Amino acid sequence: MQKVIAPILSAFTKEGTTDTRRLREHAERLFELGVDALFLNGTTGMGPALSKDEKLATLRTLSDITDRLIFQVGELNLENVLELVRMSKDYSILGVASYPPYYFPGLPENWVVRYFAEICRTSDHPVYLYNYPLATGVNITSELIKKVGGQNIKGIKDTTADITHPLELKFNMPSLEVYTGGDRIAAVSFASQLDGVVCASANYIPHLLVKMREATERCDLRHAHELQSVIARVVNAAAKYGSLSANYSLVRLILGHDPGLPRRPVYPLGRAEEEALWKEVEPVLAPYL
């Protein structure tokens, strides 16, 4: 079955420390609403802002449901990455994930290949690659994956705006699990029989993504496209205020519980901004709440 995976928000306090209690509460609520799995410490979860110990703490917080978690461990210090991979052996997770090395421009492709190859050699779990070229400057192609050659590469989260990229990955590597990370192409992803989605909107309107998947399963593409239009309008509204921060506000406004705060330099929305955001999205969502 195609999966709806939430790149779960990481919860922080006003002081900027991690709030594991709220992380746990949010995870439980998402599963209640039909999410199949969680992508831990991704972009939406502010993974690049988390230390090695904080990443491990998120895993420990959800240790009894790790069979429904993909544990993202990527960062610029490969020793920290490999240490997290080794530590994850004690948990029955779906797999470990990593984006490629970022920030440093012009990295030779063979360095990226070696980075992923070391993760594959170290991991007892399946490995998921995380492709987000807008943020990392590196585009993971099927040719690159084949050069890595890891027998335990299970899948990829492909955060690109162009649906042809994940389709090409699936065409060239049919056994690879391919999940799209773009909220605006979720319906096409389901209709194209990719393996599912890892969408930020799964944090605050997961039930709409579940309904979209159900609509495509019964070939009701009209309803799937209707839901896609709703999701896109909400995502576009959130982007006006800063999506990374607006995601937290939308959880409170739509689902009614507190997922904590983002960590600076991602600043939480002020009251006026939150009210303006809700004024824009509430009429769009009203028929579906």
Is residue 222 a part of any domain in this protein?
no
Q: Indicate the number of domains in the chain.
A: 1
Is residue 168 a part of any domain in this protein?
yes
CATH number where 35 lies: 3.20.20.70
Q: Is 3 helix (H, G, I), strand (E, B) or coil?
A: strand
Please write down the long-range contacts of 263-268, taking CB distance under 8 Å and 24 or more positions apart. 263/10, 263/12, 263/16, 263/46, 263/49, 264/16, 266/46, 266/49, 266/242, 267/242
Q: Is 212 helix (H, G, I), strand (E, B) or coil?
A: helix
Is residue 226 a part of any domain in this protein?
no
How far apart are alpha carbons 118 and 208 in whole angstroms?
Answer: 38
Residue 166 in tokens: 């994940």
Instruction: Please give the span between the terminal C-alpha atoms of the chain, in angstroms, as a whole number.
Output: 25
Q: Is 28 helix (H, G, I), strand (E, B) or coil?
A: helix
* Segment 32-51, tens digit of pLDDT: 999 999 999 999 999 999 99
Q: Are 89 and 121 in contact (CB under 8 A)?
A: no
Question: Predicted confidence band at 242 (pLDDT cuts at 50, 70, 90)?
Answer: very high
CA-atom Rg of the chain in angstroms: 18
Q: Which residues carry out catalysis?
A: 157
Is residue 251 a part of any domain in this protein?
no
Q: Is 51 helix (H, G, I), strand (E, B) or coil?
A: coil
Among residues 19, 22, 77, the alpha carbon closest in space to that of 52 is found at 77
Q: Are 135 and 99 in contact (CB under 8 A)?
A: yes
Q: Is 105 exposed, middle or buried (0-12, 13-18, 19+ CB in 10 A)?
A: exposed
Average pLDDT over residues 14-28: 95
Name the strand (E) or helix (H) holding 127: strand 127-131
Question: Predicted confidence band at 4 (pLDDT cuts at 50, 70, 90)?
Answer: very high
Enclosing domain of residue 38? 3-206
Eight-class DSSP state of 200? G
* Segment 52-68, tens digit of pLDDT: 999 999 999 998 887 89
* Segment 167-202, tens digit of pLDDT: 999 999 999 999 999 999 999 999 999 999 999 999
Eight-class DSSP state of 71? E
Q: What is the pTM for the complete model shown?
A: 0.96
